[in-house]
Structure formats: structure tokens, C-alpha cells
Chains A and B, each alone.
Chain A
């Protein structure tokens, strides 16, 4: 599939987070940003359809809602 190139301007703090995630996930910046975009699209679709986003604690099963703008 054809790909296009873009320049991304990030603050130092944002770049640090990006690099830390790349290290943690053993992924390149490009691949990590693509994965983030997929996640963002999926979450937005669910929210637009009236869904809510929750994080469930693995042990207590307690759910906390994530508020999205």
C-alpha cells in the first residue's frame, strides 16, 4: 500500500514520551504513531456511537470511566 511522509513537530516532553513508548514496545516511531492512530480512530468511533470508555482493574474488577473530549 502506498505511503505518504509527513513531518511531526513535538515538544521535548512529547518526544520523550514517544521514545519511551517505542523503547517499551520495541517499535519504531512510525509504527507506534500508526498504532496510536488506529486506537484513536477506534475509540472515537465507539464514543460517537454512544459508547463509554472504561478501564477495569484486573484484580478488583473495579471500573473507572475515562472522560474523553
Chain B
């Protein structure tokens, strides 16, 4: 791990699908002005073009990226100085590839770990060009989402929460969290826009980390 301007930076690896190679990337333990500039100058125009393309193809709005209204600058500003939130970002090839905000104040809901502390993944989004299911072709980089889940698990262990994590999933990601990540699906949460709530036990976390290289 290295440090830059009070950032902890870890070396991670992404799969560059266009080049067919594994490339070095950086996991930052923050969302910085640089990340927000990347989001505003690169993610938003890319997303806008993607939405225009989906509209031209006649794709229904319900199938458009469900995180398209997320305003990362506002989200980061809202948690400025709060000890209960920890942010992460992944940077590769000079650009931000994924962003995440976590919350350390939530409690587990699964019976086996009810009321135990966990790391709640409030928001996780990868850059539009890394979302193959939306762009209809191979994503530029794969693996960013899994790296952020591993970062949440690691944070959970560091804070004494033993790897427990939880999140509400947008419908387009339900399959990913249930089947690829291996979290337990606790069903729709009527108190949270009826989004499905997923949770991971310490055992599931260990299993996920062990198979991580294959994701």
C-alpha cells in the first residue's frame, strides 16, 4: 500500500477486455476531486450517449441504467466529515473506473447475525464503459465491482465486523449479488423503495474472497 495526499492506495488488477490483458489499477480509500471531475467530464457524457442510443433502439426506460440519476458530487458532499461513511474509488489508465460509498452504522438483518455491525454498501457504480450489459458489447475493464466488494469485506474485517456486508440492490444487479457474489437475498424491502436487500455472512465473505480471482 502506498500513500498520496493522505490517500491509502492499494494495487489491484482489472481485465482489459479490448486488449485481452490484465492491467494494473489503483484502489483509493476516498472519492477525491479528481474522481468527481472524471465522473462529471467522462462518465456523464458517456452515459448521455448511451441513453440516446438506447432511446433510438426503442429500449424501454425501465431497462435503462437504473443508477443514471445518481449524482456523485452531491452524495460525497452530503457525507463530508462524517466518520460513519468510508468512500472508495478505482483508478486505471488515468480515469476513474468505479466509485463506492459505505456506511458503518447499519446492523445485520439475517437471523444468524441479527443486529451485528456490518459494512453497508450505500452506493456502488462502475463507469458506463465498463457495463457490458448496458453497452451491448464487451466492457473496457472487468472486475471493478468485485474489487469494491472485496474492499468492503476488508473494511468490515478491519472494523471488527468479521467480513459482514449488506446492500440494497438495483433490480439490474440482483442476479450479480445473488449468484456471482453469493450473498443471501432477504427479499424486497418495503422501507427502501422495494429494492431487494442482500447480506453476506463472514463465511460467505471468506468464500467470495477465495474465489475472487475468477469473478
Interface residue from A28, A31, A35, A41 paired with B82 (Cβ < 8 Å): A41
Contacts of A52 in B (CB 8 A): none
Contacts of A39 in B (CB 8 A): 84, 105
Cα–Cα, bound, A28→B161 (Å): 11
Q: Give residues 97-135 of B contacting A (CB, 8 Å).
A: 104-105, 116-117
Contacts of B160 in A (CB 8 A): 25-28, 31-32, 35
B63 to chain A: closest CB distance in Å? 37
Cα–Cα, bound, A27→B84 (Å): 17
Q: Give residues 19-60 of B contacting A (CB, 8 Å).
A: 29
Q: Give residues 159-181 of B contacting A (CB, 8 Å).
A: 159-160, 162
Chain A minimum-CB-distance residue to B104: A38
A37 to chain B: closest CB distance in Å? 6
Contacts of A38 in B (CB 8 A): 83-84, 104-105
Cα–Cα, bound, A37→B159 (Å): 13
Given A26-B160, A28-B160, are A35 and B104 neighbors across the interface (CB < 8 Å)?
Answer: yes
Any chain A CB within 8 A of the CB of B11?
A: no
Chain B minimum-CB-distance residue to A43: B105
Any chain B CB within 8 A of the CB of A34?
A: yes
Contacts of A27 in B (CB 8 A): 117, 160
Q: A30-55, CB under 8 A of B: which get 1 and which 0?
A: 01101101110110010000000000
Cα–Cα, bound, A31→B84 (Å): 13
Contacts of A37 in B (CB 8 A): 83
Cα–Cα, bound, A37→B83 (Å): 8
Given A31-B159, A35-B104, A35-B159, are A41 and B117 neighbors across the interface (CB < 8 Å)?
Answer: no
Any chain A CB within 8 A of the CB of B207?
A: no
B4 to chain A: closest CB distance in Å? 13
Given A41-B84, A42-B82, are A35 and B6 neighbors across the interface (CB < 8 Å)?
Answer: no
Any chain B CB within 8 A of the CB of A69?
A: no
Any chain A CB within 8 A of the CB of B8?
A: yes
Cα–Cα, bound, A31→B105 (Å): 13
Listed A/B pairs (24) with beta-carbon separation below 8 Å: A1-B6, A1-B8, A1-B29, A2-B6, A25-B117, A25-B160, A26-B160, A26-B162, A27-B117, A31-B159, A31-B160, A35-B117, A35-B159, A35-B160, A38-B83, A38-B84, A38-B104, A38-B105, A41-B83, A41-B84, A42-B82, A42-B84, A42-B105, A45-B82
Chain B residues at the A interface, C-beta cutoff of 8 Å: 6, 8, 29, 82-84, 104-105, 116-117, 159-160, 162
Sorted nearest first, the 7 A-B pairs with minimum C-beta distance are A27-B160, A31-B160, A38-B84, A38-B83, A41-B83, A42-B84, A31-B159
